[in-house]
Homo-oligomer: A and B are copies of this chain.
Amino acid sequence: MSILVVGSVALDSVETPFGKVRDVLGGSAVYFSTAASYFADINMVAVVGNDFPEEHIDFLKSRNIDIKGLQREKGNTFRWEGRYGFELNEAHTLNTQLNVFEGFNPKIPQEYKDSEYVFLANIDPELQLDVLRQVKNPTLVACDTMNFWIEKKPKELRKTIEKVDILIINEAEAREFTCEPNLVKAAKRILSMGPKTLIVKRGEYGALMFAGSSIFHAPAYPLENIFDPTGAGDSFAGGFIGYLANTRNLEDGNVRQAVVFGSVMASFNVEDFSLNRLKDLTYPDMEYRYREFKKFTHFEDI
């Protein structure tokens, strides 16, 4: 099974109370792909500038991520600079330079067009729709978005959402998009727009899945050392969609396990800057943490 991901590749500068890094590898497509690469074959479509370091290309290749779709344009790579306080739950953006990402026009290579799973990371919903026009009848399409698009392009976003099977957004976005403060009501409203499944990301409080009448909650893993939350949401999506693609099973019980694997990958990601922790996990590492999630949430029925 193969997953097509369309999103950003970035050079991030991040400061947390625990350290500081400059121009390290980041971006939604990179976090997603790296996490998902433990479960499935990845076809990545994104754009970088001619300043993009070769070592990052080597890294992506080392994870078996196919980068035929990684467009290289004249100019600089997308740069994001942010800072987190002790609470670590909110990024304060200090600087954004879109650079070549501003004119990103995703072209899906012929070989990717029959990808069975598609993840539309957070980009302009018009581009997300354009990607869907280019692919052939995928088994499952999931997408992410952000407050910027909810505010600037609500109609276009609505059109994208109508066409996806799974929407993955954060809690505040779900409330803002539906103008509904109650999350259960907001979720129902979103499910009535088209998606069969909604995942609501809640940062340090975990994730909720809504699908039909089924609601499932997975907490975030209780880590003693959280280093940098950047990319946690995309790592979650990578583990989640990766597991679904790997198992080719959309039954409720399996989607719940996928949510937990998403949470596992997000929990590893925040343990270090950039892809430092996600880059060389072992399957026993992942399985051990999955079982820790099980212990962490288990109680007997009455």
A 186-225 contacts with B by CB, 8 A = 202, 205-206, 208, 215-219, 222-225
Partner of A86, one of B181, B218, B222, B256: B181
Residues in B neighbouring A253, C-beta threshold 8 A: 299-300
Contact (Cβ within 8 A) B222 A299 = no
Partner of A302, one of B205, B215, B222, B291: B291
A 208-260 contacts with B by CB, 8 A = 208, 215-219, 222-226, 253, 256-257, 259-260
Q: Is A102 among interface residues, defined by CB-CB distance under 8 A?
A: no
Contact (Cβ within 8 A) B298 A222 = no
Interface size class of A (residues with CB under 8 A): 35 or more
Residues in B neighbouring A300, C-beta threshold 8 A: 253, 256-257
Residues in B neighbouring A218, C-beta threshold 8 A: 299
Q: Is A287 among interface residues, defined by CB-CB distance under 8 A?
A: yes
Contact (Cβ within 8 A) A299 B184 = no
- Chain B nearest CB from A208 CB (Å) reads 7
CA of A222 to CA of B181, assembled, Å: 13
Q: Is A290 among interface residues, defined by CB-CB distance under 8 A?
A: yes
Q: A253-B299, A260-B299, A294-B301 are in contact. Are A182 and B215 (CB under 8 A)?
A: no
Residues in B neighbouring A294, C-beta threshold 8 A: 299, 301
